[in-house]
Chains A and B, each alone.
Chain A
Amino acid sequence: MTAPSPASEPRTDVARALKHAAIAGLVSFGMLLPLIGFRTIQDMRNELVLETRPLLLASFVLLTIAGSLLVSLVLVPWKQRRAAAHIPGESVRRAHWRAHVAKWLVPFALGFVVLYPVIVLLGTGFGGAVKWIDNFGIQILIYVMLGWGLNIVVGLAGLLDLGYVAFYAVGAYSYALLAKEFGLSFWILLPLAGTLSAFWGILLGFPVLRLRGDYLAIVTLAFGEIIRLILINWVDFTGGYAGVSGIPRPTFFGIPFNANDDGFAAVFGLEFTPLYRTIFLYYVILGLALLTAFVTVRLRRLPVGRAWEALREDEIACRSLGLNTTNTKLTAFAMGAMFGGFAGSFFAARQGFISPESFTFMESAIILAIVVLGGMGSMIGVAIAAVAMIGGTEIMRELEFLKLIFGQDFEPTQYRMLLFGLAMVLIMIWKPRGLISTREPSAFLKERKTVAATFVEEGRG
């Protein structure tokens, strides 16, 4: 796209916009005719018959035309005006402002997540609290932790991993099977599951050391799928599609969360409710997520963390300077995998049931999307992206009022992943480097300056 010359006023060409809108309408009509205009349904004899939906098709086409007009008559002129009013140094100033906000954001957000169960309890009372803490609090924190774990591999070391869910699965199955077979407690198995996952990270990392970029992504994807297929097909060991059920739940330092006399509620003289376990699990995953964050922040100051970031910026330069790229890559894989394993064993303990269904490629894609959308390497960005994407899709479950608009058979939940995919594309177009694209330098002379997004060179992994 060429910038308008300063002499010519940025003008809107209505005829052109109308032509574009007409083309867009035609294209959308052609594209949507088979998929929206018709619906294939099974009739009583189990044969496929067609049903037509002309109104729906027409409304989609009209929406496309309106959208096209909106873009060419409103959005593009607005962008041009903004580009014309560009002030030099603006991006740097904005980055400084953002850094300022970030400084206050972290303590505030920390306080909020620590107090979150209390806030929910005050807000909804005992009845609705489980849902809000479990579906929103715990669910989002699991993804924050997975995002931070993958951030070590993708964001810091620059190794594109599309099979991260494999380590999540290893952690979950390690906990589930060991707890069921040997009756070991959650707190013993958590580090063990992390260690096993880290071991798998090294095992899978070793053969792919030479690969770069997209190739690495596809191989890790293949590894993730292989592990899932083995989980499905090795029925004797993993239970196959049926998964593992009846996984022991974590206890409060030996006190189980149940209605018995030695249960948590009875011991502390409280009335039994499942809420205590939910709150306990919330703080466990919060602790694990904060551990991930803490370790990552500290590792960035250590030689190994510096080596990861150097590797991300330029692998050839790293080798020329005598960095052992093999060890650097493997430690990144192992660290990332270990946190994935922690998250996995927490997931198994929280659900009490796991099956290969939970470890599909879609999960890897979601975690990677969170890391990239948040801004690779930025821990705050990853957390914000996890809240927005997971919280956003969870909130779709709650939008009961939409039924009043679209009718009773409207099911908002089935649009969750649809909107998730769309959001990924739109955020990439809007901000290709993620929400927080500036970077804090890990080494600096005298003064720490923020690195603006335009100078952030992505490594070739």
Chain B
Amino acid sequence: MEVFVQQLINGITLGSIYGLIAIGYTMVFGIIGMVNFAHGDVFMVSSFIALVAALVLTTWLGISSVFLSLFIVLIVGMLLTSLVSWTIERLAYRPLRGSFRLAPLISAIGMSIFLMNFVQVAQGPRNKAVPPMLQQVIVVMERDGYEVTVSYRQLVIWAVTAFLLLAFWYVVSKTSLGRAQRACEQDQKMASLTGVDVDQTISITFVIGAALAAVAGTMYLMYYGVVSFSDGFVPGIKAFTAAVLGGIGSIPGAVIGGLLIGLIETMWSAYFSIDYKDVAAFSVLVITLIFLPQGILGRPEVEKV
């Protein structure tokens, strides 16, 4: 029971990170029907931006307040990662819009390879470890000497994720931008006829996805304390799995899917085998797509002739 509660806490934390990345996948797929393969690497790049920003703040400017520096790192990370994603969309995807179906996917795979190797060349291939922060823990329950704990880090991740999801939900459902996004999702040509700037809406979709991925990247760095150039691939695939599991195109689905994937992964590690935790996550992807291709909250795809 204690192990279960502890893994529940860990799983929700991991799931929050996956959920934040998954929103980027699901929004882009919803609006232009493309798997943004480079999204996982954008997440990795954001981790590195956060790393550099944190180092500048602590070693150069000497800011000692953890929460202040975390706040600044988040803002800087979101801004710069958005810029990266905006540029990628502008240069690598927009010229291919309306081109044949595979072209954007191949371009995205190329972008993913490029980003990964760019970071490797620019920052070196070694793992980058940061000193652990916010290590204090709160003991939630205790039995026979086994303590179930929640760390401050985990609390911060939950709080930030919850806050961002609320803000994001507000943007998507209550503002004109969100309305434009939903319009583009349904019918781009019609949306443009009613005065929606389709290109700009798509750009903003990429930017929002990247900003959320940047938050996930900062959290990832804070939670694990280490990042390397190859860290974008597996979390990216898992987040995509989360998006598919929740129903691709559905934003609440992405969050639910993220939490489920996080839970499946931690529970599998605890009860079965830690070596095969990635196999478990990938198997979930396969099984979902085969038996429930529309996901938990997605609409079934209508085949038109």
Contact = CB atoms under 8 A, between A and B. Distances in A.
A218 B48 contact: no
Contacts of B128: 40, 48
A279 interface: no
A369 B290 contact: no
A232 B273 CA distance: 14
Interface stretch (B136-144, B154-162, B169-177, B274-282): B274-282
A33 B305 CA distance: 50
Interface in A203-220: 207-208, 210-211, 213-215, 217-219
A369 B83 CA distance: 27
Interface in A271-325: 316
A52 to B, nearest CB: 10
Contact of A31 (B84, B92, B276): B84
A428 B114 contact: no
A27 B85 CA distance: 11
A34 interface: yes
A420 B120 CA distance: 14
B110 A316 contact: no
Contacts of B99: 432
Interface stretch (B100-108, B187-195, B251-259): B100-108
A402 interface: no
Contacts, number: 187
Interface in A396-440: 414-415, 417-418, 420-425, 428-429, 432-433
A425 B48 contact: no
A316 B303 CA distance: 9
Interface centre among A215, A368, A432, A460 (most CB of B within 10 A): A432
A424 B109 CA distance: 8
Contact of A226 (B104, B130, B282, B305): B282
A48 B54 CA distance: 11
B95 interface: yes
B279 A218 contact: no
A295 B305 CA distance: 33
Given A48-B55, A365-B109, A222 B286 contact: yes
22 contacts: A35-B48, A40-B128, A42-B126, A48-B55, A210-B293, A211-B289, A214-B29, A214-B35, A218-B35, A218-B285, A219-B289, A219-B290, A225-B237, A365-B109, A368-B106, A373-B106, A376-B102, A414-B117, A425-B107, A429-B107, A432-B100, A458-B102
Given A40-B52, A369-B110, A372-B106, 5 more contacts: A31-B83, A49-B59, A214-B33, A424-B110, A429-B107
Interface of A: 27-28, 30-31, 33-36, 38-42, 47-50, 160, 207-208, 210-211, 213-215, 217-219, 221-223, 225-226, 229-230, 232-233, 316, 361-362, 365, 368-369, 372-373, 376, 414-415, 417-418, 420-425, 428-429, 432-433, 458, 460
